[in-house]
A and B are shown apart, each in its own frame.
Chain A
Amino acid sequence: MIRTYLREATPSFAWRNRLGNWRTEIFAGLVGAILVIPQGITFAYLAGLQPEYGLYCAIFVTLFCSVFGSSSMMSGPNTAVAILIGTAVLPLAGRGSPVYIDFVFLLCLMVGAIQLLFWLMRGARIFQYLSPAAISGISAGAGFLIIMASLDSILDLSTFKTTFFYEKIYVIVSDARDLVNPYSLFIGLCTIAGGYIGRRFSPRFFIIIAVTTGYLSGLLVAFVWPQPVTELEYLGRMPIEWLPLHLPNINMEYLMMSTLLIPYAITIAFIGLAQSLVIVRELKMETEQDINLDKEVYAQGLANLLAPFFSSFAGAGSFNRTKANQSLGATTPFSGIASAGFVLVLITFLGPILTYMPMAAMAGTLFIVGADMIKWRDIKHYAQVRAELVIYLATFISIMFFGLATGVVVAVFLSVSVFMLRISQLELSVEPIESGILLKVKGALFYASLAHLTEKFHSHVGKNLTVDLQFTTHIDQSAVDFFIRESRNMAAQGVRLTLLINEKQGYFLKKMGANSDIELVAV
């Protein structure tokens, strides 16, 4: 037991033997780095932090996750995690202020610790119960939130906040002349157009095309109108360090207030792992990588736990970068390690150019990312089964109105409910036999499925009953209690209850003391 834990806890580097073509891996890492830079910057914005924290996330979370993990999954800044960090910490302190940053790091420590706890409890399996419809619903909802957040920057609405999205749309529409910054809007639209046209030519690098278009249109605007007129928001100089060590600030006062963060920490830990595991599971099915899910949980948790020590916030697996990685032929964690290195190098050299990157261009790419997360295909796909559609839509709508954290809770609740409903269906067949009636039961007999059985019992009052339990998958205590109660009732009416059981069930029923009231027949 401890051996397994230890083996999972140390970086294995077993992939070294599979490292056939290291050039492919390095190239994939480079592409990953180019893709992650705009993401890191914009997701830091979503989390309410300065852009460099997002880049540190793209470097260190990716690095640790690849070093300790076993797959070619690319971890790093993640939309849902970033949005949740923002919603969690904003009520406690002003955006980006020192206390805010302290709380973000505290929150990330908690997230990492909770994820490690998941690993210790072998929690990877839990995530299988989250239905795919729920995950798509969460992703679509996050996409919607991202679009709304990107509007803030595209229209330059920095100082105005609303609770619900429709208020915002109403205010924007009714007060457009005063509120909207036309220069910013122009750059944003150029970026979005660049992205969608660019996608025709290069489905993989269109984000880069979008960013470049945005940057150039920003230069154009800056060339004609000075900044005091346009009031454009720029990225600014980023004080990037190669080793941004940082000791998270923890004291009694923070800990007292941090209890408010716990529900969010759990949600973030959960949603982060859920996404990473979906990616890893897909990789496991589609490639020949030797992937250990528990090890991935560990790697993600440890990366998030270590992140605050490197001035970075928590992250999770990234769908689009893992896909790009895969399509370039990378099969080992080495591409992730290379990507982390390339981000560092690229940022050091690109930094001065990025200074004049308009935030509207960054927000434009954010808009594209968000729009991509709401997939018409998904809706059509889930529309085929009603329960799935309900989960998908309920999740999406509750995120739209009440935020991501609530949406995740709804999604989990609905997935589990549907799951429970499904497994509490019993397959019952009734046959008349000479001694009375034979009832064959298939499925799991537990508190939730008993109602179904009770009905059948009560429609055959006054007859001898033989219940065939050989094909039930599980019997719990409440089911045994139920049989004992019924058999006593029946005995009072002068009829008998017989259970046909297999060996294992016999053992359990005897332990529960059922043999004194019920006639048990082993088959």
Chain B
Amino acid sequence: MLALDLIRPLCLVTLLILVPSIGLAQQGQPSIQQLLQEPFLDDYYSNVVYGYEIVTDTQNHASRYVGNSLNCSNCHLQAGTQQEALPLNVAGMYPKWRAKNGKRNGIGLRIRECFLYSLDGIMPPEDAPEVLAISAYISYLSQGQIMGAEPEGRGVPTLPDTGYDPNPATGRAVYLEQCASCHGAQGEGVAGMPPVWGLNSYNKGAGMHDIREAAGFIWANMPLGNGKSLTHQQALDVSAYLNLQIRPSDPRDSKFLKLLEHLIN
């Protein structure tokens, strides 16, 4: 067993020699672009890069757990670096205490839930390499944030109360006018654009399925490149319209439907 006992310290020593040679020691963090160019990365940075690849191209790098055709970065815009578009620099906010089950819920659970709901897939195990890599990427993004303090622009903006109920009928008009060019008249998404409803979109358990959450996201970021051009009421209406459309069922209530959906897909 000598060999195993030796491996750990040797490994550390090698890492200590290698890390400065990549030139990371002093100047804070290297950018993702820099990391992508490196021929060799240590365990942490290779996981960061892997996490980045999963977030931007979930379909190819974490296809095991994905059930629709979305990528994380379709909602967490700019690979999770854009404020008010569900940025991912939130490692300092976890673990969260949840009184319900008396457990601390780490960032891992949040990631796994997005796989289950937003990507309408399978909940990966806690120690799945994909989950660990995304966690590494999230802590990389969170460098410099204060533990426990809400980072600026976290989540999506909360829209003020407009005084009117969201109206799907006006939402439909807004959708056809403003959104259909990219997301398709049937919400199916055209080439390169993600679907916003249908069996290839997020399911009814997803955070996006919440009218206020989606309205905040849409108001701040959509139409892409021209965010905050809709009025608050328009955002709420279109969000209510999206909410009425057909999409995969919530895995928490209709198990049988879920199975059928997956067998069809």
Contacts and interface: CB of A to CB of B under 8 A. Distances in A.
B65 A236 contact: yes
Interface string B224-265: 000000000000000000000000000111011011001100
Interface string B103-136: 0000000000100100001111111110011000
Contact of A263 (B3, B8, B121, B127): B3
Given A97-B129, A97-B132, A99-B43, A260 B11 contact: yes
Contact of A93 (B1, B43, B256, B258): B43
A403 B4 contact: yes
B252 A92 contact: no
B122 A355 contact: yes
Contacts of B50: 97-98
Contacts of B262: 352, 355-356
Given A226-B251, A263-B3, A402-B1, A98 B64 contact: no
A97 B47 contact: yes
A384 B126 CA distance: 48
Nearest to B3: A263
A197 to B, nearest CB: 26
A94 B4 contact: no
Interface in A191-230: 219, 222-229
A356 B126 CA distance: 17
A257 interface: yes
Contacts of A17: none
Interface in A241-285: 251-254, 256-257, 260, 263-264
A182 interface: no
Interface in A33-91: 50, 87, 91
Contacts of A252: 40
Interface string B185-218: 0000000000000000000000000000000000
Given A97-B129, A222-B259, A238-B64, A405 B124 contact: no
A223 B255 contact: yes
Contact of B126 (A87, A158, A236): A158
B10 interface: yes
Interface string B142-158: 00000000000000000
B129 A96 contact: yes
A226 B255 contact: yes
A231 interface: yes
B125 A91 contact: no
A237 interface: yes
Contacts of A96: 128-129
Contact of B127 (A159, A227, A402): A159
B180 interface: no
A228 B116 contact: yes
A233 interface: yes
A39 to B, nearest CB: 19
Contact of A406 (B1, B7, B64, B128): B1
Contacts of B63: 237, 239
A94 B43 contact: yes
Contact of B122 (A159, A236, A254): A236
A92 B40 contact: no
A225 B113 CA distance: 16
B125 A158 contact: yes
A95 interface: yes
B64 A237 contact: yes
A288 B64 CA distance: 45
A349 to B, nearest CB: 13
Interface residues of B, number: 46
A27 interface: no
A355 B124 CA distance: 12
A111 to B, nearest CB: 16
Contacts of A352: 262-263
A239 B64 contact: yes
B18 A253 contact: yes
Contacts of B11: 91-92, 257, 260
Contacts of A257: 11, 14
B167 interface: no
B74 interface: no
A223 B39 CA distance: 47
A22 interface: no
A99 B127 contact: no
Interface string B61-88: 0011110000000000000000000000
A95 B122 contact: no
B57 to A, nearest CB: 12
A251 B39 contact: yes
Contacts of A319: none
B31 to A, nearest CB: 19
B46 interface: yes
B41 interface: yes
B41 A222 contact: no
Contacts of A93: 43, 46
Contacts of A359: 125
A234 interface: yes
Contacts of A91: 4, 7-8, 11
Contact of B133 (A97, A237, A260): A97
Contacts of A355: 122, 262
Given A94-B129, A226-B255, A99 B4 contact: no
B43 A97 contact: yes
Nearest to A93: B43
Contacts of B4: 87, 91, 403, 405
Nearest to B45: A99
A226 B252 contact: yes
B46 A98 contact: yes
B35 to A, nearest CB: 12
B129 A99 contact: no
A224 B43 CA distance: 40
Interface in A473-514: none
A92 B8 CA distance: 8
A50 B1 contact: no
Contact of A158 (B41, B122, B127, B253): B127
Interface of A: 50, 87, 91-100, 158-159, 219, 222-229, 231, 233-234, 236-239, 251-254, 256-257, 260, 263-264, 352, 355-356, 359, 402-403, 405-406
Interface of B: 1, 3-4, 6-8, 10-11, 14, 18, 39-43, 46-47, 49-50, 60, 63-66, 113, 116, 121-129, 132-133, 251-253, 255-256, 258-259, 262-263
- 7 residue pairs, one from A and one from B, having the closest CB atoms: A96-B129, A236-B64, A253-B40, A233-B125, A91-B7, A226-B252, A99-B46
13 contacts: A91-B11, A92-B7, A93-B43, A94-B43, A95-B129, A96-B129, A99-B47, A159-B126, A159-B127, A226-B255, A227-B123, A237-B64, A256-B14
Given A87-B4, A158-B125, A237-B63, 18 more contacts: A50-B64, A91-B7, A91-B8, A94-B47, A98-B47, A159-B127, A219-B259, A226-B258, A227-B122, A236-B64, A236-B65, A236-B121, A254-B40, A256-B14, A263-B3, A356-B262, A403-B1, A403-B4
